[in-house]
Structure 1
């Protein structure tokens, strides 16, 4: 039994290939009555975002950043399962404001 909930967009399964092509997604996980907003990127999109931010604002900053090979349900759920299995990983996440 899962001890967390993950808020995928309603159309995620139908449009998973589109999300994978975009290379990033922000999802909210609820774990132990706390909400965490997680930012998933694939390495290619992350480098594009970093370069764009460095060019426009001279720095890159992203809260609760998780880099995975591809943006898909399997990779995301594997990361989340690993996070909830290791409290030390959850402890480094910033709680979503207003949760």
Structure 2
């Protein structure tokens, strides 16, 4: 399936290095024939920290379209989204 990834902002290698260190990026939009989804992308460590903090502060954690990848790199995100596209975004 053909798809297009729209990043939240133009990013160079140093921007990607910063995102990988943060372990999180929001506003990753995927567009394909018949659909659009905006993902919040986390690595497992940052996700656990965010969940724990939000539960402590507000008693819950919510995320609309959550994508967890081994590390928040362009390659990891593109690989995960490509695998989802192979399944018609039915996950």
When normalised by structure 1's length, the TM-score is 0.81
Structure 2 distance, partners of 1:65, 1:12, is 24
| Residues 41-97 of structure 1: per-residue CA shift (max 9 Å, x gap) | 00111011001110111111111111111000110010011011002xx134xxxxx
Once the two structures are TM-superposed, the CA of residue 14 in structure 1 deviates from its matched residue by 3.8
Question: What is the count of residue pairs matched by the alignment?
Answer: 89
Deviation larger for 26-35 or 49-58: 26-35
2:84 and 2:90 in contact (8 A); partners too: no
How much has 1:12 moved relative to structure 2?
Answer: 4.3
Q: What are the residue-to-residue correspondences of 1:11-90 with 2, within 5 Å?
A: 11-26=11-26, 27-87=28-88, 90=89
Counterpart in the other structure of 1:97: none
Task: Report the TM-score when normalising by structure 2.
Answer: 0.88
**Residues in 2 aligned to 1:5 and 1:77: alpha-carbon distance in whole angstroms:** 10
